[in-house]
Amino acid sequence: RFFGKIYSCINNKTKETYACKIEKPDIETPQLNNEYKILNLLKNYPFFPKCYKFCSSPHGHILILDHLGANLGVIMSKLPNKRFSMKSTLMIMTQCLERLKEIHEKGIIHRDMKPENLVIGYKGKEKNIYLIDFGLSKYTLGEKKNLLLAPIKKEKIVIGTVRYISLNTHLGNEQCKKDDLESLAYIMVYFIKGELPWQNIKAKSRKEKYSKIYLMKKKLCRMN
């Protein structure tokens, strides 16, 4: 999750529109510098936002990116049945798998796969799916944990969006390629069904809620 603000901005000379992400200087877990580094590793790939400028000042951190279209969560919410058809979902998933293949080959684990981080292109590129928001991503090339199944290592906090995180992430284990793919599977279910079984689950505390979601995911995985 990005704890900052995103604006549209225009280059006065070229009149081109860009996205401008601004992060407060005193934020506890800064992400923009990490996103800038990750996107530079993907600069030769077409379906990730290109970054044009990153700068820091006493007032905050700023990242200038490609301006892209709406995210798939917003698009789905505007459909008559509030869900994608099976055909549309499969077409979307084909592109999403390509995006994951590309970042995984570069040694990058996204770690926050969700509909809000899948967006369509802008001005004639609306049929293309772009993967965005690499603030929580990790570069692992050359390390053992870049394998499909990473060695178990506990993280200090749960990283990602709970609705879509993997079982492994629920347990606090370090994420690997498999976890991105599991999150994508939950997204696929969400697109087809219009909801996930653990949405709006009631609990007395966040810990209890996370535990209930974990158990429901575990049951779903056993059924499949």
- Helix/strand/coil (H, E, C) string of 28-96? CCCCHHHHHHHHHHCCCCCCCCCEEEEEEECCEEEEEEECCCCEHHHHHHCCCCCCCCHHHHHHHHHHH
Please say if 112 is a catalytic residue: yes
pLDDT at position 195: 95
**pLDDT tens by residue, the chain, 224 residues:** 555 689 899 989 999 999 999 998 888 788 999 999 999 999 999 999 999 999 988 878 999 999 999 999 999 999 999 999 999 999 999 999 999 999 999 999 999 999 999 999 988 889 999 999 999 999 987 555 444 445 556 655 788 999 999 999 999 998 999 999 999 999 999 999 999 999 989 999 999 999 999 999 998 877 65
Tell me the β-bridge partners of 154. Answer: 173
CB 18 within 8 Å of CB 67: yes
pLDDT at position 27: 81
112, 133, 179, 180: the catalytic one is: 112
pLDDT at position 146: 47
Nearest to 70 by CA among 139, 20, 132, 22: 132
**CB burial of residue 134 (10 Å; 0-12, 13-18, 19+):** buried
pLDDT at position 156: 59
| 165 contacts: CB under 8 Å, gap ≥ 6 | 158, 159, 179, 183
Entry pTM: 0.90
Count CA atoms closer than 13 A to 170's CA, side-chain side.
Answer: 21
| The two structure tokens encoding residue 92 | 């979307």
SS3 131: strand
